[in-house]
Amino acid sequence: MDFRLTDDQQMVRDTAREFAARELEPKAAARDRSGEFPVRELKALAQLGLLGVNIPEAYGGAAAGVVAYSLAMTEIARADASVSVAMAVTNMVGEVIVKFGTEEQKRAFVPRLTSGEAVAGAFALSEPQAGSDPAAMSTTARRTAGGWRLDGAKQWITSGDRAGVFIVWAKTDPQAGAKGISTFIVPGGTPGLSAGKHEEKLGLRGSSTVPLLFDGCELPESALLGKLGGGLSVALTALDGGRIGIASQALGLGAAALAHSVSYAKQRHQFGRPIADNQAIQFRLADVATELEAARLLTMRAALLKERDKPFSREASMAKLYASEAAWRACDAAVQIHGGYGYTREYPVERFLRDVRVTRIYEGTSEVQRIVIGRSLSQAGAGK
């Protein structure tokens, strides 16, 4: 595969890089401490076209493709992972509506996401007792004279208290198992929809994560996204694409950790010389750099396959699995190289370590990725 970047891809990457360095990185530590939601920053990303990187221009997107989206996500995450996760979910929600929605749905909701009017999008699949097993969800959507009534609860919803557009999964036929799940578009502020208290998280503290409650939430017939009973297919398609986003986010965090490690190792002197001269440090940095480069290539491969409309589910799982694990090792190494200072807030590496940990959990845990990869190998053959 040819991973040379086009002029447009380079422009998107450079735009994201410049914005991240100027606007995000200087305030990332303060946002982590305060938990302030990045409303202004998300609106600025919208103005740059970064809330709809892979969305057609007809709906306000940049139409720059999946590779460009991955590059932009990496640059934003390198500066502030909390902002990147809101960006990732908003892009994902827009892409799902473009792929599965009617023309009326696309024109009604996607421009609200790409323009920043909706502030953010939210992806409401997980429940308190249904995380890796969405078929176990208990949220229901029952037909009414005017459309649908949603009842139930969702858990771990990024931007759930701020989003203007939600994609929600519910059982429309509880007796049909996975084939009885459907997808709905729910505008923020719909009566019967409410958000619970913010989760007190280890990392990504500048991104809000809340439970949602649907209590007699009335929706029109037109709220159904895709086919009745086709919700699981919608979710799996969305998650495959979302895994490219999280792999890209992990890459950004890993790259930041490596850059700070190299800089610190050059400046920190022990026994009369920089610790960067010590072979133990050099070997650890070499391993980190090599693993991150391998992760980058896996992620680019998955993004390019998706962009070319080729099967990419296994490749996305491989990228997400390897990038999240490699980034975790990179951030852990950064703390170790910084020594006692790495354990304090004087340096950002402790924040990187906290932020990166969740990349091995959301959009499918590392264990789930191994299941996806293993099943694909047994079904199609390892050489295919």
Active site residues: 363
Token digits of residue 140: 């229901």
Query: CA–CA distance from 64 to each of 52, 54, 57, 302 (Å)?
Result: 9, 5, 9, 16
User: How many residues can be counted in the chain?
Assistant: 384
Tell me how far apart the alpha carbons of residues 372 and 65 are, in angstroms, rounded to a whole number: 25
* Contact residues for 139 (Cβ-Cβ < 8 A; gap 6+): 127, 150, 151, 152, 153, 154, 168, 169, 170, 171, 214
* Contact residues for 40 (Cβ-Cβ < 8 A; gap 6+): none
Cβ contact 100:238 at 8 Å: no
318-350 in b/e form (b: 16+ CB < 10 A) is: bbbbbbbbbbbbbbbbbbebbeeebeeeebbbb
Cβ contact 146:168 at 8 Å: no
Q: Where are the alpha helices (DSSP H) in 66-102?
A: 66-79, 81-100
Instruction: Indicate the helix (H) or strand (E) that contains 211.
Output: strand 209-220
16-39 in b/e form (b: 16+ CB < 10 A) is: bbebbeebbeebbeebbeeebbbe
